[in-house]
Structures are given as C-alpha cells and as structure tokens.
Structure 1
C-alpha cells in the first residue's frame, strides 16, 4: 500500500508557509517566555528590595532597654503598616522565651505570624512563604538581631507582604504579553502569506505562459522573470525551438523521400500508359498501389512528427468552411447541398491544420461520394473534446461492416473511385492525437461520422 504523503509536502507554497510560521511561532513563544521570566524576576527583586528596606528601617527603629523590654522609637513610614490586613506586616519575636509576636504591626491586628523554626546566623536574611491573615499567601524575610543591652536575648525581625503584590502585576503583564504576542503572530502570519504570494507570483505567471504555449496562443514563454527562474525559462524556450526544428526537419525529409519515390513511379506510370499488354496493366496497378501507400505513410509520418508539439492551435470554422467550398466545387455536377449547421468561432483543434484538413477532407469526401442530395456538418465541444459530426443521406452501412471499412485498402464498392486508404488514414491520425473516429447510423438515413479530437482551450 502506497503511503499517503502529507499535503504540505506536495506544495511549495504550503512548505514555505508552514516552515516560516512554525519558526516564527517558536521564536515568538521563546521571546514571550523570556520577557515574562525577566519581568517576573525583576518584580521579585524589587519586592525583595522593598522588604529589605522595611526590615532595615524596623531594625533602625528598634530599641531594647537594660531590662530587655523592646519598643520602637517611632512608627515605620509606610502607612500600610497601620491599616489592618493591608497586606504589609512586621513582627518581632523573642527567640529565648519563645515569645512569638512580642511586637507586631497594627496591620496584623490580632494575628500572629508563624514562621519556620530555622536557625539564623547573626545578620543573615532568610526568605519564606507563609500564611497570613485569612489564609492569604505571604512572602516574608527575617533576620536575627542581638541588642547591645541584652546580647544573650536575640530577637527575630520579620517583614512580610501579600504575594499578590508580586503575582498580580506579573499576571497582568502575562495577559498583555499574550495578547501582544498573539497579535504579533497574526501580523507575522499575514506578512508571511503576502511575502510568499509575492515571491511565488512569477511561478504563477510562468504557469500561465506554459498554458498559453500548450493551447497554441504562444510559440514560446514570453516576458522576463527573476534571476532564479529565468534560466529555466531560457532552457525551456530552447527546447521548444529545438523541437520545432526537429519537426520541420522530419517533415522536409518525409517530403523529400516522397518526392524521390514518386518521381520514378511517375516515370513507370507514363511508360506503362504508352504501352499495351498485360505487363503494362500490371505495372499501372502496382504503381497505383505504391502511390497510395506512399501517400498513406507520408501523411502518417508527418502527423507523428507533429503530434505533441506545444503551441499548436487550429481554428475549426475556417477549415470546415474551406472544405465545404472545395467539396461543393468537386461535386458540382451532382448538385449536392453541403451545409455547415453549427460551429462556434472559439472552437479550435489542438494540432496541425494540415492534419485536420487531411482527416476532415477524407471524411467529407467519403460522405459526398455516397450522399444522394445533402451532407451536413457540425462541430461542438463534447466531454472536454472537440467533436465533428458529418451526416449524409446515402444508403448507409450495415453494422457488421462499419468497423471493417477502416482497414487499409478496404473498398465496399469497386465502382466508386478511391484507394481504400481514406478512412484508415483518418483513424490513424485521430489515434495519434489521442482521439477516435466512429461510424453510426445517421438520422438522414445514411452514415454519421463522428470525429473526436483534443480541444484547444
């Protein structure tokens, strides 16, 4: 079972978009994470500096008398220490007497902070997360101080603040940062789409130019392209020119060969016409057969050389009208009515005009040979192909022999002029172009020939 390839691997546009957007998103996410982390660290550092300043102020205002009684000379400067449950607190503990809450800020009201019982070296500062009033999370710093009056009775100085003072601005910044980065990603995505569209626009022009060559609207890729694409365009135009040169050379060689063969055949035919007898008749018959075979293979080789050459386009209406006038002159004595029923001016055959004339000429000539009074032509688009319909009001063909008439040299009536190669040439040329020719009963009573060929858009 063939593995299914991801869609983006088959599209250059999607590859560029997915790759660029992926790396842009990763870069934006990393940058956002880094900015959020830096801001968080900055806020925490400023918060710690503020708590340290309050702790230093608390130590400076603390005084202990000879009896060990501690008191503050004056209240701390921040008014939040005086407002109950404001989120900013201080507390002094007596470590020797296990006296928690020896002194505390008014903001604690009747609450005593319980801190981890770790050992502190004099002057060392520890940071903890503890629970404050109403269970609010606090960030706390502590330091041990030994008063000069009572060095054996150390005191623990504590300053704590609500963790929301750090978390709230960080969360606000993270939300703003998320919105800003999302807008940045959308802006980058839009810029990438525009950039990829502009960058790949020359490829779109190249595709349109190739379609023009394929449809026969141009013989080569015109215009200038970016330096990355122009060498490809030049090489492709060189291939087209080389291909056209090879086709022209093949046609010339086929024509030369046919001329070289027909000349001695003409000499033989003239000599046979000037003589009598069985040998002369035999020579005339064989020369006629040789001429028909040369014509057949010449037409086939010419078409084989031209099939698949880009840039071929033959409008249908001029060819049909030209053949209609020609057959009207050829069969003027029979007073046939040749009528072109329908053919849009936009219909075109994706191939050579000479090959189209060869196929239609044989079919139309065959219809005129067997028609009684009229032959009708029409051309239309059918299933993405060009379809030509030729109806005659002749005697028709039995179903059993409709396929047999396409054989080389097959003639249903020896009294009717022809070599028996016309329909064979038509089928071979149609097959070379990827089309087909079929015979059906005609509403007029005779035969309907349907020729389907590639349509030039």
Structure 2
C-alpha cells in the first residue's frame, strides 16, 4: 500500500471518516443519554415537589396526603413510577407509599440529608428492577422535631430503552452516512487522480511512437510536471539529433579523404596503389559499420520511435528487384499486416532488412520469401531463400565482422554482422537457420511497437 498513492489516499480518507463517524456517534449517544436523564430528573423533581405539597400531618398526628398524586401510573402495581414516605416518630420505612409499590418498599441507602435538600440515587426497585430515586428531608411545622423522608422513583428502563433505541437508529444513520462518505472519497480520489492516468496514457503514446509530446489539458497542479516532461523530451530529441549530425559529419570528414585516396590509387597501377585501394575500402566499410552502430545506440535511447514494417519492406523489395533484375528472382511478401511496426529508427530498420534481403537475393536460386508476425511483444521477421544455405558452423561464423561464406561472391562480409549488431543494440536478435525453401532462413527479432 505504501507504493500506491490511490490506496494511501483512500486509506487515509476512510480511516478519518470512520473515526469521525464513530466519535460523532459516541458523542451524540452520550448527549442524548444525558438529555434523557435530565428529563427524568426533572420529572422526578416535579413529582417530588407535588408529593411535598400534598404531604401533611393530620390533627391526630398521623402523616397523610391531602389527595392522591396526579400521575395514573402511581395507581397501577409495578407501573414503573413510585413514591414513598419514610420516618415519623418511629422512623418507619414505608410509612406511606404508592399503590404501584404494591406490597414492597423502596430500600433507600443510608444518607445524611439537610432539611429540604434533594439527593438522587440508583437503587434496586420492586419486581427485580432498578430505579432512579430522588429524596428530600422535611420537618413539618406541626412536628418540628420529627423528620420525614419523601421519596419518588422511576424505573431506569424508561431511561435505557429510549437511549438504546436512539443508539440503534443513530448507528444505522451514521453507517449509511459513512458508506456515502466512503463512496464519495473513492469517487473523489478517482477523479483527483484521473489526470495522472491520462498522463500515463500520454507517456505510453510517446513510448509507442504515436506522438512526440504529452498532449491534453491538465489541472494547474499537474501541468508544470507535464511541461517539464515535454521539455525533457524536447531536450533528448535535440541531443539525439545533434549526436546523429555529429556522427554524420565525422563520417563525411573521414570518407572524403578516403575517397580522394581511393580515386588516386585507381589511377596508379603499382602494387602500393593496389594495397592502398584495398585498405581504403576496408576502412570505409569499418566506418559504415561503426557509424550504423553508433546511430542505433543513440536512436534506441529516444522515446517515441515507431517505424511501420510494411512500407520499409515495400521499398526494399522494389530496390532488390531492380538490382537483381537479370536473375528474374521471385521476391514474395506474405502475412505482413499493415499494423506491424518496429520500435526503432526507420533508417536502422532499412539498414538491417536491406542487408538481410540483399544477402538472400545474392544466394537465392529463384525465390525469396518474407513473412512477419508479433510474439510476446517482439516483431519477428523471417526472410527465406532457396539457395545452397549454410551448415551450422558457417551460420555462426558469418555473423562475425568481415567473415564471408564465399570469397568469390561480391561483398564486404559486414552486411550480416551489421544487421546482427544493430538488432542487438535495439534489444533484438538475428538468428540463421535452415529455410523451409531449402536455403537459409534469417530470423530477425526486434521490439514491437
């Protein structure tokens, strides 16, 4: 996850959402519970005030109520709301009590009360329940030396049940809210990172040779990166072009004096002139070989290279038919789709295929066949001829520089070596095998675009 920006953003957002929703749920549930308890305490205080107002001492000295309390629950057994009066001259527990207590009495914990002071407790109630109890100590004017404890109580289920119901509804609501916020976070991250996805596709288009620059409209936060990448691509392209120009200038600078020497040697019949002519020719071939290798080494570093295969082959076939017109060769191209392309420079691909086709045409008896396909991201081109072919030792030897299978056939011995070297520079390969036509098969493998 630490390598995925999307997962990190989503994880951070979801953790924050869950934490915020959980904290909000706890706080709201606590606030609601506190509100319910305050309402219950207010209700109990009202009942206690009413009990205090109705409590009196009869002329015969007994404690009584002028009239029953107004809440009907106090008349139903175990209805959840209770009142009780303790004390009197004998300190009786349950001196007076509501009908709702039936045959039980509230057990009040020992407590020291000042006159008129109110205390609240949670204690065991009737019918195996828990009650919230509020008590007050009074001394009637008729009996100033006698204390009476007035008590009202409410079943705590009337506190917990609303809180639990609220917590359940709150959990459902907050769960739906969390899901909605999570979906919004996923959508937001997806939309926010979409420009990076488009930039990756644009870079892929540059790599595959469909375009030379990153194109498209990007947000202000991403556009500077796009501009820097385009600047880098332009800089690399300029460096490649300068390297090619310098290589061409160097080759021209070397070839010019070589040409002068070769022309001078041809006009002189001496042995020294013949030797000079041979060495000049060898030097020129070496310059061509190393120039092609250097050009390919520079070109392979350039992004966006893409050369369609079919046009290159069409042009080379036309040239070979003219060069070998007197031999009436049949040069056929089959199964070469228009969509096949090489991730390489057009001039280098022409150099490689030109050497392979020229070699096949030199040795073919009547027929040369060309097929091509893609396999595992590689462009595979087969060039077959019906010539004499080569044995296994010769097939390995002719890929070395300057080695020729037949010294009587015109050539420098560098054509196959140049093709092999250029293919390897691009990450491809050249392999020689026995052809289905009976001669030699040259299998060229190059990166596919």
Inter-partner Cα distance in structure 1 for 2:410 and 2:443: 23
* Residue 222 of structure 2 corresponds to residue 252 of structure 1: no
Q: Distance in 2 between matches of 1:202 and 1:14?
A: 16
Asked if the contact 1:65/1:149 (under 8 Å) is kept, the reply is no
**Superposition TM-score, scaled by structure 1 size:** 0.96
- Does residue 189 in structure 1 map to residue 151 in structure 2? no
The answer to whether structure 1 residue 30 and structure 2 residue 15 are counterparts is no
Of the candidates 348, 354, 361, which is equivalent to residue 361 of structure 1?
354
- 1:68 deviates by 3.0
1:98-134 deviations in Å (ceiling 9; x for gaps): 4111111111111212221222222222212222222
Please list the CA deviations of residues 58-117 of structure 1 after superposition, one character each: whole Å capped at 9, or x if unmatched.
011011135430110011111111122111010111265241111111111112122212
Residues 67 and 117 (structure 1), Cα distance of their counterparts in 2 relative to 1, 3 Å cut: farther
**Aligned-partner SS, 1:406:** coil
Equivalent in the alignment of 1:124: 117
Q: What does 1:75-90 align with in structure 2 at a 5 Å threshold?
A: 75-90=68-83
Partner secondary structure for residue 413 of structure 1: coil
Counting only pairs closer than 5 Å after superposition, residues 128-167 of structure 1 correspond to structure 2 as 128-167=121-160
Greater CA drift, 140-149 or 414-423:
140-149
Q: Which residue of the other structure, out of 217, 221, 231, is the alignment partner of 2:224?
A: 231
Residues matched between the structures, number: 449
Does the CA-based 8 Å contact 1:66-1:149 persist in structure 2? no
1:53 alignment partner, one of 18, 28, 46: 46
- How far off its partner does 1:388 sit? 0.5
| 2:274 alignment counterpart | 281
- Map Cα deviations across residues 305-361 of structure 1 (whole Å, 9 max, x no partner): 111211111111111121112111111111111110111111110111100000011
- The corresponding residue for 2:326 is 333
Q: Partners of 2:240 and 2:116 in 1: how far apart? A: 100
Distance 1:216 1:358 in 2: 20
**Superposition pairs of residues 275-354 of structure 1, within 5 angstroms:** 275-354=268-347
Equivalent position to 2:199, from 198, 203, 206: 206
Matched residue of 2:85: which SS? strand
Asked if the contact 1:273/1:280 (under 8 Å) is kept, the reply is yes
- CA–CA separation in structure 2 for the residues paired with 1:13 and 1:218: 28
What is the CA deviation profile of residues 8-44 of structure 1, one whole-angstrom value per residue up to 9, with x for unaligned ones? 2111111111111111221121111111111111110
Structure 2: tracts of 5 or more residues without a match: none
Residue in structure 2 matched with residue 4 of structure 1 by the alignment: none
Cα distance in 2 for residues equivalent to 1:448 and 1:383: 21
Q: Distance in 2 between matches of 1:86 and 1:156?
A: 22
Cα offsets for 1:227-271 (capped at 9, x unmatched): 111111111111111111111111111111111111111111111
- Structure 1 position 453, deviation (Å): 0.5
Give distance in 1, aligned partners of 2:431 and 2:222. 45
Equivalents in 1 of 2:252, 2:65: separation in Å? 128
Q: Contact 1:362 / 1:423 at 8 angstroms: preserved in 2?
A: yes
Q: CA deviation at 1:300?
A: 1.1
Could you tell me which residue of structure 1 aligns to residue 390 of structure 2?
A: 397
What's 2:99 paired with? 106
Give unmatched runs, 5+ long, in structure 1.
1-7
- Which of the numbers 1, 5, 8 marks the counterpart of 1:12? 5
Q: Pick from 400, 409, 413: which aligns with 1:416? A: 409
3-state DSSP class of the match of 1:32? helix
Q: Aligned pair 1:115/2:79, yes or no?
A: no
User: 2:92 & 2:294 partners in 1: Cα distance?
Assistant: 116
Tell me, in whole angstroms, the C-alpha distance in 2 between the residues paired with 1:68 and 1:132: 30
Instruction: Give the Cα–Cα distance (whole angstroms) in 1 for the partners of residues 90 and 423 of structure 2.
Output: 114
Q: Partner residue of 1:442?
A: 435
